[in-house]
Every structure is written in structure tokens, then in C-alpha cells.
Structure 1
């Protein structure tokens, strides 16, 4: 009898504490939005390996419709982790190797002209150590294809492959084409079938296959005019381009580097999979070994692994694994601690572009509010 009473009192205390934490977090987030330009925020918190909180604040469409937790956002560069996860699945099936020569995978020469004898590997693409850059653009693979671009040599840096780091969107759009060629499935369909569906998540790269009514409109904020401007290109359906799709080459249409659309709670459920080293709430989609490879930094200077990186700057002094994103005015963050089993997702469909410690200030401050009120041991 005493034991049952103790359990009851413990549960009551836990619920009260949780409710107090949620109320405090929501109050602080609303205060932040009153003092800093923010269109909207979608957030989700994982604690003890479980999704314990989800919230939506501000506007989905300015002045017309409020944001809801089920609304989906283009999450920008967090999308890279979906591409890297797809590669690891194909590596496990022995369809690909991280040490494969990208020239052979792409079907045209991928060599730094200053180091023509040095192989650029798939691992280098995923870790931003390939010596490839975005100076020729990244919305088409023509940027680096010698038969398509007379200036292709400019797409390479002065250092040798594997000997430097530069964040590169083109490398991930190339990766998407490789996934497509070696899985035999169009990139967007591969991710949907092998990552989203097994994890029971709603989202995807193909705008036309998603409910347009659920899109959170994205706005770019101009500090000089103090105004938000709608960015319709964020959800451009690319219907004509898809109709003329060249399998294994047109893949940047879907933007493997930044085009995933998903809600904050579902992104948190995806994050749980990485937190658990490849196992989602109900199903494992990559091995523990593959997941650990993704989370292990290649470059000690940048702490970037394969589609995921480590930082202790988001929450000062706490090492987290994850990724950020920014595009069209949107800012996003997905970070977790695989040992302590907590994580936070924050997505803004438009906010002030100021940065602090390498992160968008609104995103960083929101993450810290959620950590302090809902996760940090009291």
C-alpha cells in the first residue's frame, strides 16, 4: 500500500514538474518572440529517448494562419543527414563503399585538376573533405562536369582531397545522384521508402507528393527594412523539370543537400533513430556501426562526420551531435546527446539573421530555453 502511494505521489510530482517546465519554456519563448523578429517556431524535445514535448509558436502564414505542430517545413541542410543515412544503408548492402572513387560512381571525371592522380572518395563527399566547392553553383551537376562546364576547374580548391575542409552543397547533390544510380530508385522515392516509411514519418523531398496546405510559409527577414518577405521558391514544385528527369543526373532538382520537408515532431522522431545509433522507435534502419561512423568526426578541426557533426557551442559546455540548416530565410537545428538520450529540434520559418557562437541567435536561444526548462537536471 505504501509502495503504491509512493508511486502515485511520484507520478503526480513528475507531471506537475513537467507542466511547470513546459509553461516556463513557452513563456520564455513567447517573450523572445516579442523582443526579436520571429515569424514562427516549431519545436520538439526528446528526453529519456522519448518525445516529451512539441510546440508551435507564431505564424504559419503572416497575419492569416497560426503555426501548428503538424505543419511541415523545408529543413535545409539537416537534409544532408538523410542522404548520408541512405548511403550507409547501401554500404551495408555492399552496393557502395565509402572508399569508392567518385569518378567511377558519377560516370565522369571527378578529379581536382591540381591533384589529378588523387582519388576523391564517397567518404570525402559526405565529410566535406573532397576539395570540391560551390563556386560554380550546386543546383545542377553540370557545375562540375567537364563536358558541360568550361569552368569546371574552379569547382575545386587549392588543397588536395582529404587534406582540408570546406562545407559543400554540391558534394551532397552529387551524393544524391549516386544514391539514385546505385539503389535503382529515384532519390526522393528511395528516402521515402527506406527511411521515412520504416520510421512512420510524414515528409519528403517531392513537393507535389505532399499536402501543400501543411507547408509553413517561409519568410526572409531584412534587418534594414525590418520586414519579412515571402520566399515561394522554398516549395517550388519543379513539375516541368521532373517531367524531363534524367535518372542519376537530374537529382539536384530534389535537393539532397537541403530539400527535405518535415514537421518538428517527426524530425525529432528521426533524431531518436540517430540517438539510438540506427534504431527508431519501432525499427532499426542502419546498423550501430554505420551510425557511429556517421557521428565520428573526420576532421578534428571541424568535428564533422558524415552528415552529422559535434559541437559544444550550441549549449555551452555540452557536447551534442546534429546539424543546422538555413535557406530562404528559414533556420533549423536538430541536436542530441546519444549518451544522455536527450535532443532538441527547433525550426523557424523566418527570423532575424543575427548569429552568436556560430548559430542563428533565435535558434540557439530557443534551444537553450528548452534545455534549461525541460531537460537540464534540477
Structure 2
């Protein structure tokens, strides 16, 4: 009981310190507006974090962490953040490139250890850069939780994993791409994927996060809810935090990496995700902290490669999120969760918004609840 009380006091003090950078009137208006957004889109819970002038100025959690137990959402609670996870994998690759252990223009076949070629364009080399920018011509039609689906030595349907266009000349978002990228990190570094990300990104930034469920405090996991549009009810999605203990006990390095889902399996709080975001916003270096990747590597990740989605290397460029402002970042959606991490590297502001369940339209690029929340936070707390 004492531990819980002390934690509550610490969280209150942290909130007061952060909130002291904005006025009470700003806070009240922000929370009134977001309460209305939550009601409009039937959000179960919503966690937000705002960075302005290179400082974390506001964090808050609204609604519920668990409907059945009526547990409120807390700033220290952690979510499986879905596809924003890809940027952690890409950051790991940039570290290995800086160490001269690989190149973004390497033949991906040599890195992954089996043939990666579009059978319609067998002479066109598919590079690591193509895989990371989703211009590889690879698709998810055969699934993405097992690398055997694209390995010609293990699947008779491997050719179906490729689209009709030539690699490098088209774009299709593909989760298999990043589960393979995670495998490359493992093969090149010699460290298990989740350990590599922990040792080289999470720990240096001082974050509480990770890919392996069993290594995290399960009491901090936010229940994710899928919305049933027919019954208008929220259904828990426990598979979001499947510990996969048996698979991990029998783990084969360089083969079983998708168990950790480099493409979407990071678990982290909105507040810590904002601290990670600040590293990218500052081109690879945490404010008053360690450099994680070089400025050149960070800018490479943020440089648009694909025309569609503004995709670079796990960082997108968007021009229609906040009117008149170019933002960099990524979204995520899985198991009913919707997440967004977007920042403006020159003006040094950014946002993290995560909901664990909503009726908001999922078929829009940046689902409306995320878009409206980000614009509300911008108008109330950042806009000058």
C-alpha cells in the first residue's frame, strides 16, 4: 500500500512540475476540449504528451485503463503501440550502418540469409533501404509472423509475397518488411532483437519499455479494446500482450524474431514515447542526454522516399495534419489501439496521442480522434 501511495505522490509531483510550464487556463481549456473529443469518439482511454520548445510541457491520461475493473488510465501505464515500433527497428539499423556493419544499399538477400527477389524482376536487387521504405514490392498477403512465407526454400507460395511492380518503383506498406528488418538487426549484431533495442536505445534514453512481455510489469499494461460496430460494444484483445513463453524458450536466433514483432510490438507509455520522440526531433540526440544516432542518420530516416504516405525510413512526412505545418512521425493501429507520434524538428514541438479503444473511423489515414486531439493540443498549448 505504501508503494502505491508513494508512486501516486511522485506522479502528482511530476504532473505539477510539467504543468507549471503552462497556465491553469490552458490546462483547463485543453482538458475540456479533449473530454469532448473522447465523448464524440467513444474513447475508452486516451493518453497524451506534448513537447514545446524542446521541453515536455504536458502529459495527461483520460478515461479508463480497464473497463471491467473500472480502473482509470495513468501516465505510467504502458501500451503496445503498434507500428510506431518500426521506428525503433529503423533506429537500430542506422546504428549498425554507422558502425559499418551494413549499408542501406546492401542486397537484402545477403543480410537476411535467403533469396529476396521479385520473380517478375529477378535481376533487380532489393536493398535494405527499399525494405525499410516499403518500396521493396513485398506485401503481407501470406502473413508476416513467420519468415518462412517469403523464403523460397520453405514455401511454395513465396512468389505471392511480391507485387507486380518493380522494386524501388512503387510503394505498399508492409509489416513483413519490418519483421525482416528486426531479423537483420539480430543477425548482424549477434544480440537477440529485443535485447538489442533495450541495450542500445531504451536504456540509454532512460525509458521503461520493451518488446518482451515477461520482462515488463503486467500491472502497467493497458487493456486494448476492439470496437464491434454491429453491437456498439468494446471487446478486450488479450493477445496484444501474449507472452509467447514457449516460443521464447525454444527461440532460434535469426529466425524467430517475429515473435517479438519488430513491426509493432513495442510496449511503452505515452510519456516515455514522447521522450523517445524528442531524440528524433533533435536529430538523434536526447535533450541533455546521449546521442543515439548521428544527425545524418536521423535526417536520412526523416527524408521522404516514397511518394505515397510520405514514407522515409519508419518516419513519415505529413503536410495535412496541422494546417501549414510539415510534421514528421508515424501512426499505429492494432488490437483496437490507435497511436500517433508526430513532431516538428525545426520548431521543436511534437505530440504523442494513444487510445486503447474508440469508435473513430479506422479507415482514414490518421484516424479522426488522433487528428482532432493533436490539433486541440496544438491550438491550446503550442500555437503562438
Within the alignment, does 1:128 sit opposite 2:145 as a pair? Answer: no
Quote how far apart the aligned CAs of 1:63 are: 4.2
Quote how far apart the aligned CAs of 1:18 are: 2.5
Specify the alignment match of 1:4 in structure 2: none
| CA RMSD after TM alignment | 1.3
Partners in 2 of 1:129 and 1:153 — Cα distance?
17
Pick from 316, 324, 327 the counterpart of residue 323 of structure 2: 316
Quote how far apart the aligned CAs of 1:356 are: 8.0
Q: Contact 2:21 / 2:57 at 8 angstroms: preserved in 1?
A: no
Specify the alignment match of 1:275 in structure 2: 281
Specify the alignment match of 2:9 in structure 1: none
TM-score (norm 1): 0.94
Specify the alignment match of 1:232 in structure 2: 238
Partners in 1 of 2:323 and 2:376 — Cα distance?
13
Partners in 1 of 2:363 and 2:347 — Cα distance?
25
Once structures 1 and 2 are overlaid, which stretch shifts more, 318-327 or 220-229? 220-229
Q: Contact 2:126 / 2:136 at 8 angstroms: preserved in 1?
A: yes
Q: Contact 2:145 / 2:176 at 8 angstroms: preserved in 1?
A: yes
Quote how far apart the aligned CAs of 1:357 are: 5.8
Partners in 1 of 2:138 and 2:157 — Cα distance?
13
Partners in 1 of 2:379 and 2:24 — Cα distance?
14
Partners in 1 of 2:365 and 2:211 — Cα distance?
27
Partners in 2 of 1:140 and 1:15 — Cα distance?
48
Within the alignment, does 1:210 sit opposite 2:209 as a pair? Answer: no
What is the CA deviation profile of residues 16-75 of structure 1, one whole-angstrom value per residue up to 9, with x for unaligned ones?
953211111111111222232111001100000110100000000004210000000000
Once structures 1 and 2 are overlaid, which stretch shifts more, 14-23 or 118-127? 14-23
Moved over 4 A (4+): 14-17
Pick from 78, 83, 90 the counterpart of residue 89 of structure 2: 83
Q: Contact 1:18 / 1:374 at 8 angstroms: preserved in 2?
A: no
Q: Contact 1:313 / 1:357 at 8 angstroms: preserved in 2?
A: no
Specify the alignment match of 2:63 in structure 1: 58
Within the alignment, does 1:376 sit opposite 2:383 as a pair? Answer: yes
Specify the alignment match of 2:11 in structure 1: none
Within the alignment, does 1:45 sit opposite 2:50 as a pair? Answer: yes
What is the CA deviation profile of residues 77-101 of structure 1, one whole-angstrom value per residue up to 9, with x for unaligned ones?
0000000000000000000100111
Is there any run of 5+ residues in structure 1 with no aligned partner, and where?
A: 1-13
The equivalences for 1:143-182 within 5 A come to: 143-182=149-188
Within the alignment, does 1:338 sit opposite 2:345 as a pair? Answer: yes
Partners in 2 of 1:335 and 1:61 — Cα distance?
27
What is the CA deviation profile of residues 223-275 of structure 1, one whole-angstrom value per residue up to 9, with x for unaligned ones?
22110000000000000111111101100000000000000000000000000
What's the secondary structure of 2:197's corresponding residue? helix
What's the secondary structure of 2:227's corresponding residue? strand
What's the secondary structure of 2:23's corresponding residue? helix
Specify the alignment match of 1:21 in structure 2: 26
What's the secondary structure of 1:110's corresponding residue? coil
What's the secondary structure of 2:332's corresponding residue? strand
Pick from 288, 293, 300 the counterpart of residue 307 of structure 2: 300
Within the alignment, does 1:93 sit opposite 2:95 as a pair? Answer: no
Specify the alignment match of 1:8 in structure 2: none
TM-score (norm 2): 0.93
What is the CA deviation profile of residues 147-184 of structure 1, one whole-angstrom value per residue up to 9, with x for unaligned ones?
11110000000011101000010000000000001011
Partners in 2 of 1:45 and 1:352 — Cα distance?
24
Aligned length: 364
Partners in 2 of 1:202 and 1:29 — Cα distance?
26
Is there any run of 5+ residues in structure 2 with no aligned partner, and where?
A: 1-18
